[in-house]
Amino acid sequence: MTAPDDERFDWQAAEADLTVGPDAEVVDLDEARARRVPSPRPPADDNDDDTDAETVDDGPGRIGGPVDMAGDIPAEVVARQRERRPILAEWARSGRGLRAAVRHQAKDAGYVAAYHGVRLPKYLVKAIAWAPIGAVRGIGQALRWATAEEGNWHLRQAAASRGDADTWLKLDARRQRQSVWRWWVLAAGTAGTGAGVVVVAAGPSWWSAVAAGVVVPWLATRGRPADKPLTDRVTEGTRYRKLTADLVRRALTSLQMAAINSAVAKDPKAISFPVDIHRDGPGHLAVVDLPYGVEAAEVVARRGKLASAMRLPLDQVWPEPAPGHTGRLALWVGYEPASQMKQPPWPLLAGTARVDVFKPFPFATTPRLDTVTVDLMFRNFLFGGQPGSGKTFALRDLILAAALDPRAEIRGYELKGVGDFAVLEPVMAEYGNGFDDDTLARCFAFIEWLYEECRRRSKRIEHYARLGKAPENKVTPELASLKGSGLHPLVAWFDELQELMTSKYGKDAGEILEKVIKLGRALGVIILIGTQIPDKDSLPTGITRNVNSRFCLSVADQTANDMILGTSAYKNGYRATVFQPVDEAGWGILRGFGKVASVRSFYVDTTAAARIVARAVALRATAGTLPNLDEQTRDAGPVADLLADLARVWPGDDKAVWNETLCGLLAELRPDVYTGWEAAQLTTALKPHPLVKVGDVGRRVDGKAVTRRGIKHTDLLKAIAERDRKRSAG
């Protein structure tokens, strides 16, 4: 409807005349409503102005009225947004839902059967005691019925009191007529019962048993006192609290959130349900539109209070932000606490399971016990959580999966020194365990090697891209499988990386690892990092920024949460702070695989892990990719011994030489290894040799004193002597 473009336009008159203005159409509200397509997004009628021509009064009682379609929304978009009620109930639409429902019902039935089963002797005693009473009562009732005394007794009494003999006689005659046929029925029943007793007694003994099993309880129920049932009551309440709109509303208003409470005080329907509460897996799902201005994240943060308001254990209540808008909450309540729901065994434990790192494999389950899959290729993973959160076990799952792809080369360091990964040793090309300086130095050298490996791989990719075998300049499954391509998947993992990052190697290690993460993804280098302390000293932001797959297990605070899951994760309601370490070990928030979700990694204990490793060893033996840990080598292309090379190129009798001079000389000696090295790179490369200290070295150049970074000849000789001593000792 177009408003006249006139400043003196009489708005009041126009509003009063809204539907019959000169260039206005007559709007039939019913037709307009019928035309409307409900939007799956929030009702956008946050403008309470009734005169807004875009909104339509939806009549009383409608919660959150839909909005008229803007005329310019393409029909296919509208069609996509149309929400239809499913033909089949949620639980009947998928095998998972059906299985969960059947499992739940079976469990329930099993529970009831077991409950009564153990009480059977008690029920038997009660039945035997009450059955004779029931029999006597039954006979009495039958006789009373046959005499038909009760039918018009009150009327006869009234006639007798009035002295109305005529009426009384008529009423009694009627009773007698009724009584006659009733006596016949009773006699026939008695005869039938007698005959039945004779037949049963004459038949096999199990007939009597079945008859007694039916008749005795039946008589007992007739003989029991009204307030004493034969069987004990199975209390429903404590087993499962069915999610209802009232329960959800009550819970949400118990969170002491002023925004919710004041909105509900004004309008009890401020909390609305865009979709009916329905069964979803082993529990119920309520999708809730919170009052305007309240974010789902705020409710997620109060998971404990929500559980308390529902009188349920914490791990039975799973609030999550729902897609649509920030005020939409998906509240899933399980039939039972997650800790009591048996997680299915890891599918990769099955005897024949294999993994293709290019394809997804099961990694975790949701609270609803749905399987969540992840893939490894073109990914880097960051796992973070406080001690006891389960990150080591989760990280190990990924490495076990990688072990089941015989193409994948696995190398890694656990810098805690416990040996959680030792079980994987037979399939690892390199493995270090500990936080001593030697292990840290090896780990650092490994990171440097990774960088060099990335450089080598990028040259190989270039080569294959020229041949048309790497169309996207990325490793393809064919190249990964091609023996000798040097582009097989390389899984490099670091558990408790903070130990390296806070050591003297930290700064350089962080910088190089960041480059490896950026470069390696397309080149088949998969980095897996586990860390306990995700602050910026323990985990450089350059790394956290560039990692594309994250799993945040129980953390203590928002900072740790956001370091792992990314900025604003906490604000958006993805809060791993809600998980308890140890009790909820393995639970965390997984990001990078579609919907951000709370999941629990599959629990694989060391015995089960050993079984997988044995299978991985067999697969690798067949494929010819079984590493030999005794001669741990890194395929470093041309091998170079830096200390020996430095000694070889050392210029004359100089006591100290600048790094940049040495780099030039090294490049002359081995151009394939040292070309392009700069002073800082030499400093980094010398880190594993603490005896060689890089310091300021002064020289006179054209009569002027110039100071640059360099090393001393004596330090170099000492380091070589120390290394030789270690080698001969070891």
Ligand X SMILES: Nc1ncnc2c1ncn2[C@@H]1O[C@H](COP(=O)(O)OP(=O)(O)OP(=O)(O)O)[C@@H](O)[C@H]1O
Q: Which residues bind ligand X (CB under 6 A)?
A: 385, 387-393, 532, 585-586, 600-601, 603
* Shortest CB 499 distance to ligand X, Å: 11
Instruction: Decide whether 544 or 554 has the Cβ nearer to ligand X.
Output: 554
Q: What is the rounded radius of gyration, in angstroms, for the C-alpha atoms of the chain?
A: 40
* Shortest CB 520 distance to ligand X, Å: 24
> Please, what is the angle between helix 437-466 and helix 506-520, to 10°?
20
Instruction: Decide whether 272 or 392 has the Cβ nearer to ligand X.
Output: 392
Instruction: Decide whether 600 or 620 has the Cβ nearer to ligand X.
Output: 600
* Shortest CB 363 distance to ligand X, Å: 10
Instruction: Decide whether 384 or 486 has the Cβ nearer to ligand X.
Output: 384
Instruction: Decide whether 393 or 505 has the Cβ nearer to ligand X.
Output: 393
Instruction: Decide whether 575 or 620 has the Cβ nearer to ligand X.
Output: 575
Q: What's the distance, CA 606 to chain centroid?
A: 23
* Shortest CB 347 distance to ligand X, Å: 15
Instruction: Decide whether 530 or 627 has the Cβ nearer to ligand X.
Output: 530
Ranges of beta strands (E only) in 128-193 are: none
How far is the C-alpha of 573 from the C-alpha of 146, rounded, in Å? 73
The 3 state secondary structure assigned to 93-156 is CCHHHHHHHHHHHHHHHHHHHHHHHHHHHHHHHHHHHHHHHHHHHHHHHHHHHHHCCCCCHHHH
Residue type for 50, please? Answer: D
* Shortest CB 600 distance to ligand X, Å: 5
Q: Is 386 annotated as a binding residue?
A: yes
* Contact status, residue 403 vs residue 616, Cβ threshold 8 Å: yes
What phi and psi values does residue 389 have, to the nearest 5 degrees?
-80, -20
Ranges of beta strands (E only) in 336-397 are: 361-365, 371-374, 380-384
Instruction: Decide whether 544 or 601 has the Cβ nearer to ligand X.
Output: 601
- Sheet of 656-658: strand order equals 656-658, 704-712, 695-701
Instruction: Decide whether 295 or 584 has the Cβ nearer to ligand X.
Output: 584
How far is the C-alpha of 400 from the C-alpha of 459, rounded, in Å? 30
* Shortest CB 360 distance to ligand X, Å: 19
How far is the C-alpha of 624 from the C-alpha of 617, rounded, in Å? 10
How far is the C-alpha of 513 from the C-alpha of 451, rounded, in Å? 8
How far is the C-alpha of 463 from the C-alpha of 486, rounded, in Å? 12
What tokens appear for 172 in the block? 């009694």
Q: Is 388 annotated as a binding residue?
A: yes
* Contact status, residue 97 vs residue 86, Cβ threshold 8 Å: no
How far is the C-alpha of 727 from the C-alpha of 271, rounded, in Å? 73
How far is the C-alpha of 146 from the C-alpha of 142, rounded, in Å? 6
- Which element (helix H / strand E) includes 460? helix 437-466
* Shortest CB 502 distance to ligand X, Å: 15
Q: Under DSSP, is residue 129 helix (H, G, I), strand (E, B) or coil?
A: helix
* Shortest CB 388 distance to ligand X, Å: 5
Instruction: Decide whether 386 or 476 has the Cβ nearer to ligand X.
Output: 386
Q: How many CA atoms lie within 13 A of 98 on its CB side?
A: 5
Instruction: Decide whether 334 or 390 has the Cβ nearer to ligand X.
Output: 390
How far is the C-alpha of 22 from the C-alpha of 13, rounded, in Å? 12
* Shortest CB 385 distance to ligand X, Å: 5
Q: Is 387 annotated as a binding residue?
A: yes
DSSP state of 272: B
How far is the C-alpha of 410 from the C-alpha of 492, rounded, in Å? 6
Which value, to the nearest 10 degrees, does the dihedral of the CA atoms of residues 167, 170, 176, 177 take?
Answer: -140
How far is the C-alpha of 627 from the C-alpha of 644, rounded, in Å? 28
Q: Per DSSP, what are the bridge partners of residue 371? A: 365
**Residues comprising the chain, all counted:** 730
* Shortest CB 696 distance to ligand X, Å: 41
Instruction: Decide whether 329 or 500 has the Cβ nearer to ligand X.
Output: 500
- Which element (helix H / strand E) includes 700? strand 695-701
Q: Is 390 annotated as a binding residue?
A: yes
* Shortest CB 394 distance to ligand X, Å: 6
Q: β-strand 597-601 against 587-591: which pairing, if any?
A: antiparallel
Q: Is 389 annotated as a binding residue?
A: yes
Q: Under DSSP, is residue 328 helix (H, G, I), strand (E, B) or coil?
A: strand
Instruction: Decide whether 611 or 699 has the Cβ nearer to ligand X.
Output: 611
What tokens appear for 232 in the block? 């004990």
* Contact status, residue 617 vs residue 427, Cβ threshold 8 Å: yes
How far is the C-alpha of 589 from the C-alpha of 576, rounded, in Å? 6
List of residues 6+ apart from 701 with CB closer than 8 A: none
* Shortest CB 575 distance to ligand X, Å: 18
* Shortest CB 517 distance to ligand X, Å: 22
Binding residues for ATP, by number, are: 385-392
Binding residues, by number, are: 385-392
